Amino acid sequence: MVSEFKAAGLSSTRVRIAILSAIRASRTPLSAEAVGEELTRSGCTIGRASLFRNLDLFRSAGLIERIETGNRGNQYLAKCSGNHHHHHILCEKCRSIEPVDICLSTAMLKTIEQSTDYRVTGHSLMLYGLCRKCRKRKQSRRTD
């Protein structure tokens, strides 16, 4: 990890190693808050400022991904292997997130460019849905 930081032009600090480890250790994406809690749990509480600063630095450096989940807080997760372009689906109920390995086709992008006369430079796609668990307990009482 030290060399990864080096490669990204970031010095390798205890705080950074802890943050990136926590994100990589998690199977699911974590909110900034969740990362902080994870660190506290492992005996390495860090300041808010450092947390947000590093999440942003890591993202700029391509070490992690940030999923913009709309209104309330973003989610951070380790870059998926291969690192190719993809999207995510978010469960409306439990907020769990899965990668979705599908994307707009180049044909579609071409059609868009032709019909709008814009040059397309990027896009963001977020899918919403219900995960299997939440579909099953759809009728039961909420616990929140």
Residues that bind DNA (CB under 7 A): 10-16, 31-33, 46-50, 52-54, 56, 71-74
Q: What b/e readout covers 22-50, taking b as 16+ CB neighbours within 10 angstroms?
A: bbeeeeebbbbebbbebbeeeeeebeeee
In this chain, which of 1, 2, 80, 102 binds a second copy, going by CB under 8 A?
102
Residues 82/60, Cβ–Cβ less than 8 Å: no
Residue 126 binds which entry of a second copy, DNA, none, CB below 5-8 Å type-dependent: a second copy
In this chain, which of 15, 17, 57, 91 binds a second copy, going by CB under 8 A?
91
DSSP 140: S
Complex with a second copy: residue 33 or 92, whichever CB lies closer: 92
DSSP 93: T
3-62 residues in contact with a second copy (CB under 8 A) are none
86 is a site residue for a second copy (CB under 8 A): no
Sign of the alpha-carbon dihedral angle for 70, 93, 39, 18: negative
82 is a site residue for a second copy (CB under 8 A): no
